[in-house]
Amino acid sequence: MITGQPITLWRRFLRFPWHLLLLSLALVTVGSLALYSASEGSWSPWAGRHAVRGGVGVVLVFILAFIDLRLLRKWSYFILLAAVGMLFVLMVVDSGRFVSRWITIGGFTFQPSEPAKIAVIMALARYFDEQPPERMQSLLVYLPPLVLITVPFLLIIKQPDLGTALALLLGSLSVLFAAGMPWRYIFTAIVLGLGSLPVLWMQLHAYQKERVMTFLHPGADALGAGYQITQSKIALGSGGLFGKGFLMGSQSQLNYLPEKQTDFVFTMIGEEFGLVGNLFILSVYLLLIGSILAISLRVGSRFAQLTCVGIAMMLFLYVFVNVAMVTGLLPVVGAPLPLISYGGTAMLTVFVGLGIVVSAVVHDRSEN
């Protein structure tokens, strides 16, 4: 018994998917350099903190990697309950910015809607892991998951944070799809979703409607509501194939490009490193997301499989929404570029997701 334990730990260490960590660190490095440029060649106030948070994220990955996934599965409902509880707290907290998206405790500010996405994914994965295959054709089996999704979705909408709410919704629905939801229910949900668009439009705030109208007619008010996307397109186009060079982007360095450290960091990289730089970043994301999906096909636990699918979709939505937003393919909704944009909660949430994926590999009993 005593001699067998080190061997078990060594085998788990050998299973560690180091490529996930290397790919994520590559993105953090790109983000640190981009934020260094965004602050005009200074590590303060963004680049240094971003690099430190990346180091904290790596520590989180190692901690989660050696926590048995069965324990995370056991506590998944409690984790979701805690996440929903924090979202309820936001309803009585005034952020002072006309929205309530952040909680500050002891000088540390975080956004509860980010970890809520992983909490919902894990709770759904556990629920479907407990369902026998013959029940998956029944409509009743999908009612509890709809409650698990709807409650945090509505609480995030209330903040209001439409972008994060839609990301949570689509990421959660990907788990239902991977769990084996019949196509007739999927098509019904799509039809109902499209039919509810007029109702959703009526519930939007004035500034949210303005963003949608700006997306449809970006040139109508190029110096007002359309200023952000106009400057973003100018910066991307001026970067050309190879870019203007590090610290040489005129739109970003002269502060024409808004929110260059968060929402529009992809645009700034495109201006300085061109299409080649942007394609490099997208290639790294493709490898990272593809690796997580490959792991979901390899692990033996159904809970691990569904959790990995949900986390991969969460990452994909992060990337897709941000890139589509800054290129004018979607309205501006305030979505960060994972591991590159400045923002502690979003970055650490991604690292938590990666840690859970690594735990699924390290503790996979199908390979014992």
Question: pLDDT tens digit string along 341-350?
Answer: 988 888 999 9
The whole-number pLDDT of residue 3 equals 40
The whole-number pLDDT of residue 248 equals 86
How far is residue 171's CA from residue 312's CA, in Å, rounded to a whole number?
Answer: 9
Token pair belonging to 329: 């393919």
Contact 210, 241 (CB under 8 A): no
How far is residue 63's CA from residue 125's CA, in Å, rounded to a whole number?
Answer: 21
The whole-number pLDDT of residue 171 equals 87
Among 57-71, 91-105, 189-203, 228-242, which is the least confidently predicted range?
A: 91-105
The whole-number pLDDT of residue 159 equals 77
Q: Residue 98: pLDDT above 50?
A: no
Angstrom CA distances, 327 to 149, 246, 267, 268, 341, stand at: 30, 21, 8, 12, 16
Q: Residue 73: pLDDT above 90?
A: yes
User: Phi, psi (5° rounding) for residue 110?
Assistant: -140, 160
The whole-number pLDDT of residue 229 equals 81
Give the residue among 27, 61, 31 at the shortest CA–CA distance from 46.
31
Residue type, 337: L
The whole-number pLDDT of residue 106 equals 63
How far is residue 274's CA from residue 180's CA, in Å, rounded to a whole number?
Answer: 42
The whole-number pLDDT of residue 99 equals 53
The whole-number pLDDT of residue 295 equals 95
Q: For residue 32, name the pLDDT band (cuts at 50, 70, 90).
A: very high
**How many residues can be counted in the chain?**
368
Give me the mean pLDDT over the 38-52 stretch.
Answer: 89
Contact 223, 248 (CB under 8 A): no
Q: Residue 186: pLDDT above 90?
A: no
Q: Residue 237: pLDDT above 80?
A: yes
How far is residue 98's CA from residue 48's CA, in Å, rounded to a whole number?
Answer: 29
Token pair belonging to 17: 């998917």
